[in-house]
Structure 1
Amino acid sequence: MLDLQDIKRLYFIGIGGIGMSAIARYFLQRGVEVHGYDRTSTELTRALEAEGMQVHYDEDVNKIPAGVDLVVYTPAVPTSHAEYQYFLTQGTPIKKRAEVLGIISRGMKTVAIAGTHGKTTTSSLTAHLLRSTGVDCTAFLGGIARNFESNYVLGSSEWVVVEADEFDRSFLHLHPDIASIMSMDADHLDIYGDAETLLNTGFKAFAKQIKPGGTLWLQHNLTTHFDATTAYRSFGVEGGDYQAHNIRVEKGYFVFDYLSPEREIKGLRMPLPGRHNIENATVAMSIALQLGASDEALRDGLEAFRGVKRRFEIIHRDEEVAFFDDYAHHPTELNAAIGAARELFPAARITGVFQPHLYSRTRDFAEGFAEALDGLDEIYLLDIYPARELPIPGVSSEMLVKLMRNPNVHLITKAELLPALQKNKPEVLLTLGAGDIDTLVEPIGNWLKSLKPEKV
């Protein structure tokens, strides 16, 4: 078995990934020398370099340092990668990111947040609430939590919060004390093949990984997929044993009451918009209460939550325009983001910029994407971001346009987008997608800020 104490020099293939970089930060804080490769320089990789890691951007084995004790790689990088093959021939120990996270968490008490949607915000909020209410937990997150300005948080207690990723069955390396399953929509069918296999060999298998005496929190609509042999606590919005109800909007904020078999907490203010975020808060609060949080500390902690970068993140807002950026890359996530914008701005014209992510996902959920995007008043559609995939014949953004009923849809390149927005100034703008659409956020935000000072 790998002994993490023996590692002096570590190498990451794909160090700029959000999950990879969290683990890299963990080792760096433990005094390990960290090196890595990524395809492109990003804000995150530059931050890693500023923290003291050595990162290069060429697939070049000559840039690999001598004496690497362990290689960590992400399945998003093909095994044909020159550096992966180099380490293979050298006999250097190589492990997937998920395996290493499993080893790290093995000696700790673990809270694992799973689900095809909601896990990043929920794990970030859970870590924030625990730390706000007396549990100084460590956390490995799938996004940059604004309260920490990082995807990794070092704590001093025995508890760790981790985002449990279903991609490549990564979460089966975890053995949590407390786990939550937020959603189980079909996704990653390039890995699982079909929704039934995702359910059985993915989420149900994950539920069986919980330690004896541990707790499984299930979104209440998912309970029908589990039989009487699975012990769980259900949660949700207007449903489940632990629930949010009496949801309303007061002074521009969502407000709700929390109800459980043990207590009722009234008038909780949720800083993030959307009912999906209230559901995320419901299970995060329930876990914090399970670990001893007081009602008032929980209320204060919830109000202080600043969200996660690229999860309905407010980029700019003044009296005339509001601009939000969201990581949504599945029809369910698009519906949640667009629905949240509609609730906040019921009378406004809502414009969306969407970059589909992966050819296989676009093919598998084409009708769902088209239906979700039809919920916008105007849509600018970018080319598919391929990530780890090669093109699939017949699969393109134009395919989605043909399925849409919305007459106000424009196929556009990234270079053409800003001039188009400047010509047709939006009232509410959403940038949506998991590819490199985030590189457009800063120039759009700077343009909007140049028009009028931001609302204070």
Structure 2
Amino acid sequence: MMQSPLQRYHLIGIGGIGMSALARILVQQGFPVQGTDQKESALIDQLRGEGITVQIGHSKEALGVATDVVYSSDISLHNVERAEAQRLGLPLWHRSEMLNLCMQGKRPLLVTGTHGKTTTSSLLAHLLIEAGFDPAVVVGGIPLGLGTNGRWGLGEYFVAEADESDGSFLKTPAFGAIVTNLENDHHSYWKEPEMLDRAFRAFFSQVEGPQHLFWCADDVRLSALLPPGASYGFSEQADWKISTLQSTEKGLSFDLSFGKVSYPSLLVSLWGRHNALNAAAAFALALSLGAEESALRRALISFSGVKRRLEWKKTVETIELFDDYGHHPTEIQATLSALRTKIGAKRLVVVFQPHRYSRVEELMDLFCECFDLADLVVMTDIYAAGEKPIEGLFPLLQQKMKDRLGPKLAYFSRGD
């Protein structure tokens, strides 16, 4: 990233998971970084401890002596800081544009797809770090072993999530990539399924080296796009084929084969069929870059997961507590399936907060169906995530879930 040492970056909404990662890699490169957010958080405390100035509340004065201003898709044109930067003629960068700028001079390894981006990109970063590649990393969660969502590295590769939610995953052509799956989501942006399909075709076309492009053959919609590169999955049509999946006390064991080459008994410290797919993709891409198999095997075992991705929190007497960010029905179903396999016949109690009105409106029937493996579902009110509430939507969801789950569904308001 070639910029003047006089640059001072101001990030609006710096406490968000994507913006905080950018702030971290900027300050690690020696740039002064500051920012604002609406409320305090543990993440903001960490940023301050890393030398980043954070102000709570938005104001014109917060820009100070900033030379460049960075914003995300959640920051409106009417935000006072964004409007003031515009008035002053300061360079305004969308988060994806700044990420692209940070990648200059490196080879981007991008992970995209509707589900699994954070775990897969975190796995890939861990594998490359342990294999000695020293990549830069920007991910949408906190890998527990790494302890940060933003890491600058001196190696040639840059591992990042490519966010499809607002189309920004097309801003940066990839050197190599993993595409995990393709499903309708973020309906306020992708009005029609065909728009999303076209965007993924465009993403595939931008990948520099098809020998470093991997996509999931188990996803019917993704396969129908006829992507270049190599496929992976449990499907007989997969180029990289997963077989003999077993769940152990410590995680997963599976075999992986590519043509006549076999990689038997790969072990990863995660649970669930979906995480076997994630691990296979990261393993295959790392191998294609020249990483040693033995180093990758050790790294799969030592990977300790990602915060809020089926994260074990504590055990109280006989009760195990896990935290998971999954907010799409497919993600919820995959998480519950992984837990059911892990815990067997034990009682599975789920506390569920729906995320975004637009998602609930579009996927209501799927939300009603994805909790069948639970013994009890305790539901609370919809988290708007900045969206305007849709009157009557939550009572409708509640009634439909009650019709399916009966006494297995309970409710408490966010104020309780």
Asked if 1 retains the 8 angstrom alpha-carbon contact of 2:216 and 2:223, the reply is no
Distance 1:6 1:390 in 2: 41
> What is aligned with 2:232?
235
- Secondary structure class of the residue paired with 2:336: helix
Compared CA separation, residues 27 and 221, structure 1 to 2 (3 A): same
Q: After the TM superposition, which residues 232-311 of structure 1 pair with which residues of structure 2 at under 5 Å, given as runs?
A: 232-239=229-236, 240-261=238-259, 263-311=261-309
Whether the 8 Å CA contact 1:61–1:86 is kept in 2: the answer is yes
2:213 to 212, 216, 220: 216
- 1:189–1:195: 8 Å Cα contact kept in structure 2? no
Q: 2:344 aligns with which of 337, 343, 346?
A: 346
Correspondence for 1:135: 133
Unaligned runs of 5+ in 1: 417-456
Q: How many residues align?
A: 410
Pairwise CA distance, 1:339 = 0.6
Report percent identity of matched pairs: 35
1:181-196 superposed matches below 5 A: 181-196=179-194
Per-residue CA deviations over 1:162-194 (Å, capped at 9, x if unaligned) read: 111102111111111101110111011100102
2:111 alignment partner, one of 93, 113, 119:
113
> In the aligned structure 1, how far is the partner of 2:79 from the partner of 2:396?
31
CA distance in 1: counterparts of 2:52 and 2:328, whole angstroms? 33
Output one character per residue of 1:343-394: Cα deviation in whole Å (capped at 9) or x when no partner.
Answer: 1112011111111111111111111111113432111111111112111222
Runs of 4 or more consecutive aligned structure 1 residues displaced over 6 Å after TM superposition:
none
Q: Which runs of 5+ in 2 are unaligned?
A: none
Matches of 2:114 and 2:232 in 1, distance apart? 16
Q: Which residue identity is paired with 1:196?
A: E
How far does residue 212 in structure 1 lie from its aligned partner after superposition?
A: 5.5
Rounded Cα–Cα distance in structure 1 between residues aligned with 2:384 and 2:283: 37
Give deviations 1:124-180, integer Å, cap 9, x for gaps: 000101111232211111110111100012222111111111021111111111011
Distance in 1 between residues matched to 2:249 and 2:375, nearest whole Å: 25
* Partner secondary structure for residue 405 of structure 2: coil
Q: How far apart, CA to CA, are the structure 1 residues paired with 2:13 and 2:331?
A: 25
Aligned-pair CA distance for 1:7:
5.0
SS at match of 2:355: coil
Query: 2-side partners of 1:249 and 1:140: how far apart?
Result: 30
The answer for the alignment partner of 1:53 in structure 2 is 52
1:412 maps to 412
Contact 2:139 2:149 survives alignment (8 Å): yes
1:436 alignment partner in structure 2: none
Separation (CA, whole Å) in 1 of partners of 2:250 and 2:341 = 10
CA distance in 2, matches of 1:393, 1:386: 12
Give the conservation status (yes or no) of the 8 Å contact 2:217–2:235: no
Residues 338 and 114 of structure 1, relative CA distance in 2, 3 Å threshold: same
**Matching residue of 1:19:** 18
Separation in 1, partners of 2:89, 2:371:
49
Secondary structure in 2 matching 1:144: coil
Per the alignment, in what secondary structure is the counterpart of residue 190 of structure 1? coil
Q: Which amino acid aligns with 2:315?
A: R
Find the residue that maps to 2:140 and give its secondary structure: strand
Task: Assess if the C-alpha contact under 8 Å between 2:250 and 2:269 holds in 1.
Answer: no
- 10-19 vs 251-260, greater mean Cα deviation: 251-260
Map 1:263-412 → 2, pairs under 5 A: 263-317=261-315, 320-396=318-394, 398-404=395-401, 405-407=404-406, 408-412=408-412
| Shift in alpha-carbon separation, 1:7–1:280, aligned structure 2, 3 A | farther
Distance change (3 Å), C-alpha of 1:7 and 1:379: farther
Flag the 1:250–1:392 CA change in 2: closer, same or farther, 3 A.
closer
What is the CA distance between 1:249 and its match in structure 2? Answer: 2.3
Residue 12 of structure 1: CA displacement? 0.4
Q: CA RMSD in A?
A: 1.7
On the 8 A contact 1:77/1:388 being kept in 2, the answer is: no
Q: Does residue 1:145 correspond to 2:131, yes or no?
A: no
Write the distance in 2 (CA, Å) between the matches of 1:89 and 1:370: 48
Match of 1:454 in 2: none
The CA deviation at 1:106 is: 3.1
State the 1:214 CA deviation. Answer: 5.7
Deviates more, 1:176-185 or 1:237-246: 237-246
Which residue does the alignment assign to 1:199? 197
